[in-house]
Amino acid sequence: MPRGEVAVGACVCGAVEVEIGVPARWAWHDHAAASRHAHGAAYATYVGSWRSRFRFVAGEEHVTRYEDEAAGTVRSFCARCGTPLAYERARSPKMVNVPRALFTTRTGREPRYHMNLAQQADWTYLGEPLTPLKGYPGVMWERPRKKRRPPEPMF
């Protein structure tokens, strides 16, 4: 792949670099409990790449893998810092799913799909109005919902 046609990503410590061909095949937010648990977040955002357009650029010796045989999945992550690097499924052997957060540049796809919404955490932010928290620059908060009073009797 010529350098101008790729997006390069890296783990937190910088030991591992990955590269995908641009544009990515697709991008989505995964609300599945397994992805939420693996990423320690409300949901994981992935870009899908053809396996032939994905490669480790540096640090492959720092990559470790967790295989869930029952689910038919493999998760790769950096053995030094723990950053998730790739998610692969036996059902899609030609695809590699890469956490979008690894990339600081565009991947050619915006995440417009939401998967596994039935498993969405009840604490996921859903776009509720936020206001600045006084005395804490950069901190926003949700105001408590006002309790609805029951209607007053007419008589």
What's the mean pLDDT in 70-91?
97
Cβ-proximal residues to 126 (8 Å cutoff; 6+ apart), any chain: none
Other C-beta atoms within 10 Å of 38: how many? 19
pLDDT of 45: 97
pLDDT of 144: 82
State how far the Cα of 80 lies from the Cα of 153, in Å rounded to an integer. 66
End-to-end CA distance of the chain: 79
Residues 56-70 have pLDDT tens digits of 999 999 999 999 999
pLDDT of 3: 52
What is the reported pTM? 0.84
For 22-106, strand residue ranges (E) read: 26-30, 44-50, 54-58, 63-68, 73-78, 84-89, 95-99
Residues 11-45 have pLDDT tens digits of 999 999 999 999 999 999 999 999 999 999 999 99
Which residue in 103, 42, 44 sits closest to 73, CA to CA?
A: 44
pLDDT of 152: 80
Residues 87-135 have pLDDT tens digits of 999 999 999 999 999 999 999 999 999 999 999 999 998 888 999 999 9
**Which region holds residue 51: left if phi is over 0, alpha if psi is between -120 and 50, else beta?**
alpha
pLDDT of 28: 96
pLDDT of 60: 97
